[in-house]
Amino acid sequence: MKSFLLTVCLIYLGICLALFVLQRKILYFPVPALISGALPMNVEEISFETDGQILRGWLVNKGSAKALVYYGGNAENIEQNIEFFKSINTDYTIYLIPYRGYGNSSGTPSEKKLYQDALHIFDQLNKQHLSLSLMGRSLGTGVATYVAAQRKVEHLILVTPFDSIENVASNIYWMLPVSLLLQDKYDSLERASLITADDILVLIAEQDEVIPRARTENLVKQLASRKFESLVIKGAGHNDISLYPEFSLSIQSRLK
């Protein structure tokens, strides 16, 4: 019996060690850029240098007084949103900047570095525009809430958000001490009270198979004390929510 218990303990510790060592490979899925050749009309390449890394992305609708910065999901080709933002005929300039390690950007992603990069880019753009708005999707909602808690923004749009990666991971790995093992926690719930955005929109996928509804609703409760709208898009899943008309219409109504 003792040898059996020892074997079980060793297996358990091995699983914990594997999760600790591999966690960033589980959390981040950098993908190479898809764009090659000529760019669409009203789209330009843009780059930012930060912490010795070069973040290379795209600028849509250059020259508008107001701007929106988009933060993508953990396996998203951020440039695939170019046509979406062109189609909604917004009066905002749109910045699509892949995280470090994603697309054509150099470096390796981590929570600390993504926050550092996001604030650096925000401060650079804030000098060029009358106001800045933020939009994050999935993992990007953690980055968006961090910046919105540190800086004044006009609109904050959160697509399939969560309260924290720690809570999401705890639902999946309930048998493991996630709080002790996790390095990148993206705790939007903790900083929700610090967000002073003029307007907040949360878009929820009714059939979200990645982010449990409880994790989204927990964040919504903390955000709902200010100018706020939460919209559940019926039938939508985590990855196809942007294909539903309600998605584009709700965003377009903000970015007039």
Q: Specify the pTM.
A: 0.92
- Bridge partner list, 47: 56
Output the pLDDT for position 4: 67
Lowest mean pLDDT across 31-35, 102-106, 145-149, 190-194: 31-35
Stretch 77-91: mean pLDDT:
90
Q: List pLDDT tens digits, range 185-200.
A: 999 999 999 999 989 9
Q: What is the pLDDT of residue 1?
A: 67
Domains of the chain: 2-30+39-254 (3.40.50.1820)
CA distance 85 to 35: 16
b/e string for 138-174 if b means 16 or more Cβ within 10 A? bbbbbbbbbbbbbbebbbbbbbbbbbbbbbbbbeeee
pLDDT higher for 34 or 65?
65
Q: Is the pLDDT of residue 25 over 90?
A: no
Please return the burial class of 185, using the count of CB atoms within 10 Å of its CB with bins 0-12, 13-18 and 19+. middle
219 pLDDT more than 70: yes
